[in-house]
Structure 1
Amino acid sequence: MEIIRKPSFFRKKTSRLLKPVQDGRRSGSVLLEFILAFPIILIISLAIIEFGFFALLQQTVTAATIEGSREAAQVGATTTSIGNLIQQYVAINSLYLDVAQQPAAPGAGDVLVVIQEGGILPAQTQTIGNSDILCTPVGPPPTPTEVKVTICLNLTDTNGTFPLPNLLSSFGFTLSGKQLEISAMTGLE
Structure 2
Amino acid sequence: MEITREPSLFHNQFNQEHHRAKKRRGSVLLEFILAFPIILILSLAIIEFGFFSLLQQTITASAIEGSREAAKVGASTTSVGNLIQQYMAINSLNLDVGAQPAAPGQGDVLVVIEDGSGILTQTIGNSDIPCSPVGPAPALTEIKVTVCLNLTDTNGTTPIPDLLSTFGFTLSGKQLEISAMTGLE
Where on the TM-score scale, by shorter chain, does this alignment land: which range?
0.7 to 0.9
Is this contact kept in 2: 1:109–1:130, CA < 8 A? yes
Give me the whole-angstrom Cα distance separating, in 2, the residues matched to 1:171 and 1:100. Answer: 34
Instruction: Report what 2:60 is aligned to.
Output: 62
Structure 1 position 88, deviation (Å): 1.1
Counterpart amino acid of residue 93 in structure 2: L
Higher helix share goes to which structure? 2
- In structure 2, which of residues 93, 113, 117 is the aligned counterpart of residue 115 of structure 1? 113
Deviation at 1:136, TM superposition (A): 0.7
CA offset at residue 131 of structure 1? Answer: 0.2
- Percent identity, aligned pairs only, is 74
Structure 1 vs Structure 2 CA RMSD: 1.9
How many equivalent pairs are there? 171
Q: CA deviation at 1:141?
A: 1.0
Shift of 1:87: 1.1
Alpha-carbon shift at residue 20 of structure 1 (Å): 4.7
> What letter matches 2:30 in structure 1?
L
Q: Which amino acid aligns with 1:46?
A: L
* Deviation, structure 1 residue 122: 2.7
Look up the match of 1:41.
39
Q: Which residue of 2 aligns with 1:178?
A: 174
Aligned twin of 1:31: 29
- Pairing 1:162–2:163 present: no
Q: Which deviations, in whole Å up to 9, do the C-alpha atoms of 1:98-142 show, x marking residues without a partner?
A: 011122110001010000011xx3341000000000001122111
In structure 1, the partner of 2:8 is none
SS of equivalent to 1:157 = coil
Structure 2 residue aligned with 1:137: 133
Q: TM-score scaled by structure 1?
A: 0.85
Structure 2: unaligned runs, 5 residues or longer: 2-12
- Given the two structures, how large is their TM-score scaled by the length of structure 2? 0.87
Q: Which sections of structure 1, spanning at least 5 residues, go unmatched?
A: 4-14
Query: Would the aligned equivalents of 1:123 and 1:142 in 2 still touch at CA under 8 Å?
Result: no
DSSP-derived class of the 1:164 partner:
coil
Q: Which residue of structure 1 aligns with residue 144 of structure 2? A: 148
Counterpart Cα distance in 2 of 1:23 and 1:70 = 68
Alpha-carbon distance between aligned partners in 2 of 1:60 and 1:21, rounded to the nearest angstrom = 58
Which residue identity does 1:182 align to in structure 2?
I
Match of 1:9 in 2: none
Shift of 1:90: 2.6
d(CA) in 2 for partners of 1:130 and 1:97?
12
Find the aligned partners of 2:122 and 2:110 in 1 and give their Cα distance: 10
